[in-house]
Structure formats: C-alpha cells, structure tokens
C-alpha cells in the first residue's frame, strides 16, 4: 500500500516544466530546477527511487532462496508441499509474498507491485495532456486485464474475479476521463459521472 504512492511523490519531485525559458518543479514553482540545491536533491531522490524500485527484486531474491519449500519441484507431491508450507516456520516471514498466489506464480507479488507503481507513480507523469494520459491508461489497463484474465495467478477463484472487476473499474475510470477530455460527455453532468465512478470504485473495497 505504501510503496506506489511514495514512489509517485519521488517522481513528482523530479518533474520540471518550462516557464519563460526557465524550469521549475511542476508541483512547486518556487523551486528552480537549475539551482544547485535542486541538483543535489535530484541525486538523493534518484538514489531513493532506485532503493524503492529494488524492493520487488529483494522479494524475488528472498523467495528464490526458499523456492524448494514454496514451489514443488519435479517428483514432489504438490498437495504435500502446499500442506507443509502452511506450517513451515522457515517460510513464515515471507508467506505474505506468495500465499495468495498459485504455486507456479510464487514470484507474482513483485509483478503486481511494479504494476501498481506504474499506474500510480509513472503514468500520471508521462504526459502533460490529460487526454493522452487517459488514453494510455485505458490501453494499458485493458492489456493488464487481458493478461490477468489469461494467467489467473491467484489461488482463490474469487480473488481472480475481484481482480478482473478492479481492472474493469480502472478501464471505466480512464475511459470516462478520456470522454470528458474529448468532450464526448458534454450532455452528461460531471456530478453524475463522478458519483457513478465513486460507486463503482468503492464497491471494490
């Protein structure tokens, strides 16, 4: 829950825009992007971004070390491995990283985290035009929905269904944003659209 929004703040702090031949931080135009203080800050911020983005790699390394106790190898009884790993104290500290997924998708939590970081932290900064961001978000959420539908990484069918519903809610949100920016919803009240999207997204919780 914390990693994607923190990463977004880190990226926003590096987003500069041009104003009368000078560059300022978009979220705070009092900060000159060419100042020595900001250049020093960029170095620290990039280092922190690299640390945060390395978290999924750390998860992969931790899981890889315990792979034989998480994912049944050739000749092993799958049910027996699953039964044992539920009580195995050796994997209990990292159980939250793989327990929700099917054994063959033991690494999927890292992929899911990178997906969240991209949608929350990277996508909003990919363009200054709202219509472009909405169109890109719509396309990528559609691709993500198809990918998750085909893979079905979660052990519980209800979790896979919920993920699909969440993807459709994201697609609908980006679709509405694109429709608003292209003036396709001029005859519809923004309040009605807002309430509709609020209900759809809140229902996922």
Of 143, 115, 123, nearest in space to 56 by CA: 115
Residue 78 pLDDT class (50, 70, 90 cuts): low
Q: Can you list the positions of beta strands (E) in the chain? A: 16-19, 22-25, 28-32
| 50-57 contacts at long range (C-beta below 8 A, 24 or more positions apart) | 52/3, 52/6, 52/7, 52/10, 53/7, 53/117, 55/3, 55/113, 56/109, 56/110, 56/111, 56/113, 56/114, 57/110
* pLDDT tens digits, one per residue of 88-147: 888 888 988 998 898 888 899 999 999 988 888 888 877 778 888 889 999 999 999 999
Which range is least confidently modeled, 57-61, 166-170, 178-182, 187-191? 187-191
Cβ-contact 154, 102 below 8 angstroms? yes
* pLDDT tens digits, one per residue of 60-74: 999 998 887 787 666
Q: What is the pLDDT of residue 196?
A: 83
Q: How far apart are CA 203 and CA 205, in angstroms?
A: 5
Q: How far apart are CA 183 and CA 57, in angstroms?
A: 42
**40-68 mean pLDDT:** 90
- When the pLDDT of each residue in the chain is averaged and rounded to a whole number, the result is 85
């Amino acid at each position: 829950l914390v990693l994607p929004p923190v990463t977004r703040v880190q990226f926003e702090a590096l987003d500069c825009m041009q104003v009368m031949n000078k560059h300022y931080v978009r979220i705070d135009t009092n900060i000159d992007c060419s100042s020595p203080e900001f250049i020093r800050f960029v170095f620290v911020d990039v280092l922190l971004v690299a640390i945060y983005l390395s978290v999924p790699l750390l998860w992969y390394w931790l899981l890889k070390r315990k792979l034989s106790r998480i994912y049944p190898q050739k000749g092993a009884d799958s049910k027996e491995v699953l039964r044992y790993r539920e009580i195995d104290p050796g994997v209990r500290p990292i159980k939250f990283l793989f327990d929700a997924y099917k054994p063959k998708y033991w690494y999927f939590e890292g992929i899911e985290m990178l997906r969240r970081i991209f949608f929350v932290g990277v996508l909003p900064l990919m363009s200054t035009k709202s219509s472009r961001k909405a169109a890109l978000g719509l396309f990528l959420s559609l691709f993500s929905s198809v990918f998750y539908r085909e893979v079905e990484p979660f052990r519980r069918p209800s979790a896979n269904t919920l993920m699909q519903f969440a993807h459709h809610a994201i697609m609908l949100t980006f679709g509405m944003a694109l429709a608003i920016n292209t003036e396709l919803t001029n005859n519809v009240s923004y309040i009605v659209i807002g309430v509709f999207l609020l209900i759809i997204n809140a229902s996922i919780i």
